[in-house]
Amino acid sequence: MLLSLTNVTKQYQLGTTVIKALNSVSIDVAQGEFVSIMGPSGSGKSTFLQVASMLAEPTSGSIKLKDKNVTEYNEVERARLRNKEIGFIFQQFNLLARTSALNNVKLPLMYAGIKEDEQNQRARAMLDRVGLSDRLQNTPAQLSGGQQQRVAVARALINNPSIIFADEPTGNLDSKSGREIINLLKKLSHEGKTIIMVTHEPAVARIAHRLITFHDGQVANDSLKRHPTPISRLKTRPPKQVKNKKRIK
Amino acid sequence: MFKNSCLIAIRAIFLNKTRAFLTMLGVIIGVGSVVLLTSIGTGLQLYVKEQFVALGTNILFVVPGNPFGESGGFGNQEQAFLESTQAKLKIRYLDKILRDNRDVLKDGVATGVGIATAKYKNVTKKVTLYGVTANYETVRSTKADKGTWFTQTDNAKSRRVLMLGAGIAQELFGQVDPVGKKIKLDGKSYLVSGVIEKRGGGFGGPSFDNYIYPPLNTLFSDFDTELVDSFIIETKDESLIATAKKRIETTMLQELDKDEFSVFDQTQLLDTIQSILGVLTAGLGGIAAISLVVGGIGIMNIMLVSVSERTREIGLRKALGATPNLIMLQFLIEATLLSIFGGMIGLLIAYLGSLAIQVYFPARVTLEAIILAFTVSSIVGLIFGVAPARRAARLSPIEALRYE
């Protein structure tokens, strides 16, 4: 098993009350799986993502990555692990402002201690792979939302990680760009990449092989799908724009 | 890894040029003022030294009293003043010194001081009279710029002739050539024999250019004084200074008590002045260094703000694999680089400033000042960078990524 969480609990202290964001969750993810995570706000799906991606430590339970127990890793080991084994795609893209696409993609390589020449070569190749070979020197401000997210995907892939975590990857994109990104993730999945994606858009979730639904910090449903939605069908149901939704809130 | 952190830091600085410049401003001003002020101090020291060398290094002075005191500094001033008002030095002592030590001494001048009101046509001026013998010209290498020095005979016969310092000549005569003209000193008429070439000086020291130089005997007879305030004695060679000093003391001890006179050379006087100027320079530098500390605090402030502002960036870097130490290193390097850049700009400004000042005032930027400014500014950056860097390193990646 590539990633396995056993009885993972995550508690937050909020004033005097203790919030159990994750309540004894056990999930196994195999190599090559494309997992969608859904659930209402506060259901624990984001916390699951943070804990599973080594950004946050669980309060209890154990996490194994590639059969190695990584639960007790300290901050430095976790940072190295994230650098090597995990790729992140965020809703807000999280690209460094005023920094070229090339330099953004190079960032994980830099922390991996890879030589400048190789960094450049690999970052160029990766940007070419996401269709941005003509945008190497553009800064995020000079790129469309879809292009920015593609830079982020390139950055997530650059260190050839074991798992890619995507947190609402289409949430900040218009429907066309959203489809492009979904397309890209699908392609990566076909190539054998393991992807865990949090989304609250059923249409987006449906493209994965497996759908896990969270409720009150626990897994409410975990189902495998034989025939995930083909990309072509998505066109009729464009992903909603979270940005607008947020504003209404 | 260190190289990468440097690159990240440099990139961060160049991404925010205005902020970087404003951050550096404190250090720029700090380093600039420290270097500029010490350059003025150092320049002054060198200037004074040059002046002393120009006056001759084979010169010994004999003065009444003991102005240097036991410890070498300017000692008991009150006592020294009292001594100097008593006519302890007699011209015959000088004659004796020169006669007894012909093998090491070349020549000697006795000087006396008086005050008078000088008048030429309608220009009136209070002046210091510096009575000297005619050989003052050779002993102190003070050539006549216009006219000629009065002669030994003029001195012997107490003739009413005099030499003018370049400054006082200008003040009294303006564009008129003073040679051959007559001026009045306290009502008596004197013939201007010549004008001494410009000697410089000032900055609190005696202003030789503003003195009027009558023959010593003329000073004594016309101004009712017998006061010899110094002997200026020239040795045959610079190397003979120490020997000559001992020999003069021996001769003088036959006439006066140990405490009633002092023999000193230029280096002694120079050392005293240099040590005063040294303290002054250090003091000025110290005061300016306060602004350097303020500059350091400025860097810390901006860096702290910068850490808050870049919380998301820090979170992202951590998510992508930056360890806390690397984040800390990045911010430390950034603060230090800002400080060093600031230091370099400050240094440049101070250097240009010292060039500009040199027109009016001696100033010299020394290598020591540069190294010191550089070291101090990097240390300032390093020290004041620690707090922001630690804060950045401690940020939790999730909190940081969530930060809006």
The answer to whether residues B294 and B250 belong to one domain is no
Q: Considering CB atoms only, which of A55, A83, A98 is closest to B15?
A: A98
Is the separation of the CB atoms in A71 and A231 below 8 Å?
no
* Separation in Å, CA of B298 to nearest CA in chain A: 25
User: Cβ B320–A56 below 8 Å, yes or no?
Assistant: no
Chains A, B: CB contacts within 8 A come to: 56
User: Cβ B322–A111 below 8 Å, yes or no?
Assistant: yes
A137 CB within 8 Å of a chain B CB:
no
Measured CA to CA, the distance from residue A35 to residue B228 in angstroms comes to 108
Q: What is the pLDDT of residue B85?
A: 61
Q: Which of A115, A108, A78 is nearest to A94 (CA)?
A: A108
Residues of A in contact with B11 (CB under 8 A): 99, 103
Is the separation of the CB atoms in B238 and B218 below 8 Å?
no
The model's pLDDT over B270-297, given as tens digits with 9 standing for 90+, comes to: 888 888 888 988 888 888 888 888 888 8
Q: What is the pLDDT of residue B206?
A: 63
User: Cβ A80–B318 below 8 Å, yes or no?
Assistant: no
The answer to whether residues B118 and B230 belong to one domain is yes
Residue B264 lies in a domain: no
Q: What is the pLDDT of residue A235?
A: 47
Measured CA to CA, the distance from residue B364 to residue B40 in angstroms comes to 6
A82 CB within 8 Å of a chain B CB:
yes
* Separation in Å, CA of A159 to nearest CA in chain B: 10
User: Cβ A56–B398 below 8 Å, yes or no?
Assistant: yes
Residues of B in contact with A88 (CB under 8 A): 319-320
Residue B106 lies in a domain: yes
The model's pLDDT over B316-353, given as tens digits with 9 standing for 90+, comes to: 999 999 999 999 998 999 899 989 999 999 999 999 99
User: Cβ A75–B320 below 8 Å, yes or no?
Assistant: no
Residues of A in contact with B313 (CB under 8 A): 96
Q: What is the pLDDT of residue B322?
A: 92
The answer to whether residues B230 and B284 belong to one domain is no
Q: What are the structure tokens assigned to B139, written together?
A: 């002993």
Which is more confidently placed, B135 or A249? B135
The model's pLDDT over A4-44, given as tens digits with 9 standing for 90+, comes to: 999 999 998 888 899 889 999 999 999 999 999 999 988 99
Q: What is the pLDDT of residue A246?
A: 42
Task: Look at residue A228 and tell me whether its pLDDT is greater than 70.
Answer: no
The model's pLDDT over A147-176, given as tens digits with 9 standing for 90+, comes to: 999 999 999 999 999 999 999 999 889 999
Residues of A in contact with B312 (CB under 8 A): 94
The answer to whether residues B365 and B300 belong to one domain is yes
Residue B346 lies in a domain: yes
Q: Which of B235, B252, B227, B253 is nearest to B111 (CA)?
A: B227
Residue B361 lies in a domain: yes
The answer to whether residues B175 and B114 belong to one domain is yes
Average pLDDT over residues B344-370: 87
Measured CA to CA, the distance from residue A168 to residue A241 in angstroms comes to 11
Task: Look at residue B308 and tell me whether its pLDDT is greater than 60.
Answer: yes
The answer to whether residues B42 and B107 belong to one domain is no
Q: Which residue has the tokens 């790129």?
A: A143
Q: What is the pLDDT of residue A100?
A: 93
Rg value, chain B, Cα: 32
A90 CB within 8 Å of a chain B CB:
yes
By C-alpha distance, the chain A residue nearest B13 is A98
Which of helix, strand or coil describes residue A42? coil
Which structural domain, as residue segments, surrounds residue B305?
Answer: 2-49+277-402
- Pick from A109-123, B40-54, B74-88, B130-144: least confident: B74-88
The answer to whether residues B242 and B331 belong to one domain is no
Instruction: Give the best residue of B11, B320, B395 to mutate against chain A (max A CB count within 10 A).
Output: B320
Residue B388 lies in a domain: yes
Show which of residues 182-221 on chain A sit within 8 Å of chain B, judged by CB atoms.
none
Residues of A in contact with B401 (CB under 8 A): 55, 90, 94
Q: What is the pLDDT of residue B294?
A: 86
User: Cβ B324–A83 below 8 Å, yes or no?
Assistant: no
How many domains does chain B divide into? 2
Q: Considering CB atoms only, which of A82, A96, A112 is closest to B319?
A: A82
Average pLDDT, chain A: 88
By C-alpha distance, the chain B residue nearest A105 is B320
Q: Considering the entire predicted model, what is its pTM?
A: 0.70
Task: Look at residue B355 and tell me whether its pLDDT is greater than 60.
Answer: yes
Is residue A248 very low, low, confident or very high in pLDDT (cuts 50, 70, 90)? Answer: very low
Residues of B in contact with A82 (CB under 8 A): 319-321
Measured CA to CA, the distance from residue B104 to residue A104 in angstroms comes to 83
Which of helix, strand or coil describes residue A33? coil
Which is more confidently placed, B368 or A95? A95
Task: Look at residue B159 and tell me whether its pLDDT is greater than 70.
Answer: yes
Q: Which of B83, B82, B44, B30 is nearest to B384 (CA)?
A: B30
The answer to whether residues B141 and B230 belong to one domain is yes
* Separation in Å, CA of B322 to nearest CA in chain A: 6
Is residue A230 very low, low, confident or very high in pLDDT (cuts 50, 70, 90)? Answer: low
The answer to whether residues B392 and B331 belong to one domain is yes
The model's pLDDT over B63-122, given as tens digits with 9 standing for 90+, comes to: 887 766 554 445 555 655 665 566 678 888 888 888 888 888 888 999 988 888 999 988
What DSSP element (H or E) covers A155?
A: helix A145-157
Is residue B182 very low, low, confident or very high in pLDDT (cuts 50, 70, 90)? Answer: very high
Pairing type for strands A68-69 and A60-65 reads antiparallel
Residues of chain A with pLDDT > 90: what percent? 73
Is residue A247 very low, low, confident or very high in pLDDT (cuts 50, 70, 90)? Answer: very low
The answer to whether residues B137 and B238 belong to one domain is yes
Q: What is the pLDDT of residue B310?
A: 87
Report the amino acid identity of residue A31: Q
Q: What is the pLDDT of residue B316?
A: 92
Is residue A102 very low, low, confident or very high in pLDDT (cuts 50, 70, 90)? Answer: very high
Residue B80 lies in a domain: no
Rounded (to 5) percent helix, strand, coil in chain B = 60, 15, 25
Residue B71 lies in a domain: no
Average pLDDT, chain B: 85
Average pLDDT over residues B235-245: 86
Compute, in degrees rounded to 10, the torsion defined by CA atoms B387, B390, B392, B397: -150
Q: Which of B206, B226, B228, B208 is nearest to B62 (CA)?
A: B228
User: Cβ A88–B319 below 8 Å, yes or no?
Assistant: yes
Helical H segments across B263-402, by residue range: 266-309, 311-319, 324-357, 367-394, 397-402
Residue B358 lies in a domain: yes
